Amino acid sequence: MRWLLIPLLAATLLTGGPSSQSATAAPTQQDTLATFAVSGMKAFLYFHREGALDTIDVMGNVPYELWNVRSGATLVSVQVTSSRTARRRNISMHLSAAVESRVLWQQTVPVYSFYGSDNRVIWIPFLVRGIGCGDTDVTATLSDSAGTRFGAMTKRIPFSCGE
């Protein structure tokens, strides 16, 4: 049995081991992008007369119909997860709100400004205005400094309008 292990051990040592190349290779851009994900999204109506947010996530199971809602704004909060070692400086979050494929609102913010020293999960807030009539598709997309988009998530706010 010993005579089988000696050649195997010698071959592993002479070639640098099975994992020596992967341990010393520099992380690629694709590796950095893979460490980020849009992992959640929720939305709350803002009522300007009260200066308060509703407590019901209107992207979830809304217990009432959102008919002719004129809240003035909707707070959309997007959850981003990353590994602790991910390079975060060049990553941005783009959020858009569209009704029937027509974009009504959009904004891009750097992800880095929301991370602390040890955060792996963060929520990025967006105050979305100008929506509230018609099914609204809200899309959150991560991108890097080269414009490569990844980690997208779309959720719907079921606004309805009419007489």
Helix H segments across the chain? 2-14, 20-24, 29-34
Q: What is the pLDDT of residue 88?
A: 66
Note the pLDDT of residue 18.
41
pLDDT at residue 85, rounded to an integer: 58
98 lies in which domain range?
26-160
Judge whether 105 lies within some domain.
Answer: yes
Is 5 within a domain? no
List all residues 6 or more positions away from 79 whose beta carbon is below 8 Å from its beta carbon: 38, 39, 40, 41, 121, 122, 123
Look at residue 116 and tell me if it is in a domain.
yes
What CATH number is associated with residue 42?
A: 2.60.40.10
What type of residue sits at position 97? A
Q: Is residue 57 part of a domain?
A: yes
Provide the residue type at 104 as one letter.
L
Nearest to 161 by CA among 118, 122, 132: 132
* pTM summary value: 0.75
pLDDT at 155: 97
Assigned domain for 127 exists: yes
Q: Residue 162: left (phi > 0), alpha (psi -120 to 50), or beta?
A: left
Strands ordered across the beta sheet of 149-160: 66-67, 149-160, 135-143, 92-99, 102-110
**The pLDDT of residue 14:** 39
Tens digit of pLDDT at every position of the chain (163 positions): 444 434 433 443 334 444 333 344 444 444 445 588 999 999 999 988 888 999 999 998 888 888 766 667 899 999 999 876 556 678 899 999 999 999 999 999 998 888 876 778 899 999 999 888 889 999 999 998 888 898 899 999 999 887 6
